């Protein structure tokens, strides 16, 4: 009656690239560098533009893609199951923030997966080979490849759709396979691959040198002393320390992450923790999760190589999303188990973290919550009187790691007032920030703001109902992307790492604290 009946089958609707709806492609020099690294294959470095008809693909690009898919079907049993068991019931359709924000049917997880599944049916099933399109199969063409590129980078691999799938299909894994296949013929985005190259070369996404990384941490220590009177003396690359601390590099150089880092430093000083930073493994984030299994393995391995070199007992990790997903979902089959390290045991409380018996690495929120439970730190909620908070469950720590209660326990003890967002937008069902998996780049800002709308709507609800002014989280990418999202949709709300709020509330013996009306953000 409305006339909104589709005039074409979804297979017959081509993608159209135009400025603003795609991320910039990988710089050739970045791809050449990565392709030269041992254990990594990222070929076909060249200048190309998605808006052009000719993507400068290898002559045998189709064979490369089909063989690559065959290899992955053989290596990953889960992929084969996901290709075969979907009944296209649509339970996932309205669960994706990209679909809700853009209204594009190909952003429904079921249809995004169908972009790959249709080629699988054509090439790897008897029905598809005989009946073709009647069986849901389609030929691998340049048009299909372009479709893959468009929609593989309109998915943040947040896995919200998998929560609602009756068969447990993980569409994020399908997106990962799509991206891997695209990289076989040199199709990727620079905002993902340049951080990968930097992390491989210097140890962190920004390409900070050891001197710059150490200097930035020391600048934060100077700020802490001017605000609180507490002198913090971190060590770097110190052999024999009990604990290696690793956090995203954004915590060291960019707002609002630097305030989270100041919270770490204050906490460690307050309890006298025997720890060291590394200027080699100076990045917790792992953009390999958004690139390929081989890259993921290589970048995750550097943390453990450094832990072994320094002779620490175990690893403590900062507030990062994808670092923890890699640790808890992939570490054991890629780099582990880390038997040269000890099962983490808090030197302050004596708690043994058996959940990390294999990875030997625990989350700062687990560690902090344990300190609070055993009354090992003194907290004054009134120091966060300027904060009325809500909490964003970051997709990877929440859905992939199960870190749900510890952050809330911490909030209960560091702020006087905080409120949950609606129940279908938190915990396992949390909405994504909308810009993860290397999509937090400015050239696709409208797409980011659209995909983040479901998260922003939930924040708007508690802002209007409870006058919330702070959105807490435990992920460096969230702190960056949610800040932009809030500035656009809910400008009354700022974004803060949980450890920043802990740092605000900490009472430390011998402190000469100024009147910090905005906590560690106070300008003095």
Q: CB of 307 within 8 A of CB of 315?
A: yes
CA dihedral 241, 242, 248, 251 (to 10 degrees): -70
Among 142, 91, 92, 137, residue whose Cα is nearest residue 118: 137
Indicate the length of the chain as a whole number: 524
Q: CB of 494 within 8 A of CB of 520?
A: no
Q: CB of 343 within 8 A of CB of 362?
A: no
The stretch 282-296 carries a mean pLDDT of 94
Residue 524 has pLDDT above 80, yes or no: no
Average pLDDT in the chain: 95
CA pair distance 241, 218, nearest whole angstrom: 19
Q: Is 139 left (phi over 0), alpha (psi -120 to 50) or beta?
A: beta
- pLDDT tens for 480-509 read 999 999 999 999 999 999 999 999 999 999
Annotate 104-119 with three-state secondary structure. Answer: CHHHCHHHHHHHHHHH
Residue 4 has pLDDT above 80, yes or no: no
CA pair distance 184, 180, nearest whole angstrom: 7
Element (H, E) at 314: strand 314-317
Q: Which residues contact 393 (CB under 8 A, 6 or more apart)?
A: 399, 404, 407, 426, 427, 430
- pLDDT tens for 242-279 read 999 999 999 999 999 999 999 999 999 999 999 999 99
Element (H, E) at 295: helix 293-310
* pLDDT on residue 333: 87
3-class SS of residue 496: strand
* pLDDT on residue 3: 73
Q: Evaluate the omega torsion of the peptide bond into residue 337 and state whether it is cis, within 30 degrees of 0.
A: yes
- pLDDT tens for 113-157 read 999 999 999 999 999 999 999 999 999 999 999 999 999 999 999
pLDDT confidence of 514, banded at 50, 70, 90?
A: very high
- pLDDT tens for 65-105 read 999 999 999 999 999 999 999 999 999 999 999 999 999 99
pLDDT confidence of 1, banded at 50, 70, 90?
A: low
Q: CB of 311 within 8 A of CB of 359?
A: no
The stretch 5-16 carries a mean pLDDT of 89
Tokens of 200: 């491989």
3-class SS of residue 258: helix
CA pair distance 407, 372, nearest whole angstrom: 12
CA distance to 276, 322, 417, 485, 491, per residue, from 482 (Å)? 30, 16, 21, 5, 11
The stretch 386-392 carries a mean pLDDT of 98
Distance of CA 9 to the CA centre of its chain: 34
The stretch 375-392 carries a mean pLDDT of 98
Q: Which residues contact 168 (CB under 8 A, 6 or more apart)?
A: 162
- pLDDT tens for 417-439 read 999 999 999 999 999 999 999 99
- To 5 degrees, how large is the angle CA 150–CA 156–CA 160? 125
* pLDDT on residue 400: 85
pLDDT confidence of 30, banded at 50, 70, 90?
A: very high
CA pair distance 25, 46, nearest whole angstrom: 10
Among 327, 314, 410, 322, residue whose Cα is nearest residue 366: 410
Tokens of 90: 């649509």
Annotate 395-450 with three-state secondary structure. Answer: HHHHHHCCCCHHHHHHHHHHCCEEECCCHHHCHHHCCCCCCCCCCCCHHHHHHHHH
Annotate 27-72 with three-state secondary structure. Answer: CHHHHHHHHCCCCCCCCCCCCCCCCCCCCCCCCCHHHHHHHHHHHH
* pLDDT on residue 523: 82
- Given the structure tokens 């049917």, which residue do they identify? 105
The stretch 313-327 carries a mean pLDDT of 93
Tokens of 394: 């970051």
- B/e letters for 417-456, b = 16+ CB within 10 Å, e = fewer, are bbeebeeebbbebbbbbbbbbbbbbebbeebbbbbbbbbb
């Amino acid at each position: 009656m409305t006339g909104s009946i589709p005039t074409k089958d979804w297979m017959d609707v081509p993608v159209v690239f135009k400025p603003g709806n795609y991320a910039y492609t990988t710089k050739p020099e970045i791809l050449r560098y990565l392709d030269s690294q041992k254990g990594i294959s990222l070929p076909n470095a060249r200048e190309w533009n998605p808006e052009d008809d000719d993507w400068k693909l290898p002559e045998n690009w189709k064979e490369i893609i089909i063989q690559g898919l065959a290899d992955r079907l053989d290596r990953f049993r889960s992929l084969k199951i996901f290709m075969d068991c979907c009944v296209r019931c649509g339970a996932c359709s309205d669960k994706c923030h990209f679909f809700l924000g853009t209204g594009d049917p190909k952003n429904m997880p079921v249809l995004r997966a169908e972009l790959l599944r249709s080629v699988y049916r054509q090439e790897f099933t008897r029905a598809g080979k005989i009946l073709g399109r009647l069986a849901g199969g389609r030929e691998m063409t340049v048009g299909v490849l372009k479709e893959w590129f468009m929609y593989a980078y309109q998915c943040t691999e947040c896995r919200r759709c998998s929560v609602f799938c009756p068969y447990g299909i993980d569409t994020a894994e399908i997106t990962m396979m799509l991206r891997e296949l695209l990289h076989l013929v040199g199709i990727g985005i620079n905002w993902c691959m340049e951080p990968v190259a930097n992390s491989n070369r210097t140890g962190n996404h920004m390409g900070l040198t050891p001197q710059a990384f150490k200097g930035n941490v020391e600048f934060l220590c100077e700020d802490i002393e001017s605000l609180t009177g507490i002198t913090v003396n971190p060590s770097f690359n110190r052999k024999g320390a009990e604990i290696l601390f690793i956090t995203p590099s954004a915590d060291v150089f960019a707002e609002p992450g630097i305030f989270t880092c100041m919270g770490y430093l204050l906490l460690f000083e307050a309890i006298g923790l025997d720890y060291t930073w590394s200027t080699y493994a100076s990045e917790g984030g792992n953009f390999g999760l958004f690139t390929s299994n081989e890259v993921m393995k290589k970048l995750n391995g550097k943390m453990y190589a450094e832990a072994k070199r320094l002779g620490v007992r175990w690893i403590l990790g900062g507030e990062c999303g994808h670092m923890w997903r890699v640790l808890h979902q992939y570490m054991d089959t890629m780099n582990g188990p880390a038997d040269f390290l000890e099962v983490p045991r808090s030197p302050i409380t004596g708690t043994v973290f058996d959940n990390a018996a294999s990875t030997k690495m625990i989350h700062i929120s687990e560690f902090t919550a344990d300190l609070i439970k055993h009354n090992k730190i003194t907290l004054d909620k009134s120091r966060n009187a300027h904060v009325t908070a809500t909490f964003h469950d970051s997709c990877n720590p929440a859905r992939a790691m199960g870190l749900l209660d510890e952050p809330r326990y911490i909030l209960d003890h560091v702020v006087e007032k905080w409120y949950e967002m609606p129940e279908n937008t938190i915990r396992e069902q949390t909405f994504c920030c909308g810009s993860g998996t290397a999509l937090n780049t400015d050239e696709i800002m409208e797409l980011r703001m659209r995909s983040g709308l479901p998260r922003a709507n939930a924040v708007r609800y508690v802002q209007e109902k409870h006058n919330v002014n702070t959105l807490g989280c435990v992920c460096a990418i969230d702190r960056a992307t949610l800040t932009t999202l809030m500035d656009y949709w809910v400008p009354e709300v700022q974004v803060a790492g949980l450890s920043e709020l802990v740092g605000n509330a900490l009472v430390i013996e011998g402190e000469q604290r100024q009147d910090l009306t905005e906590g560690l953000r106070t300008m003095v």
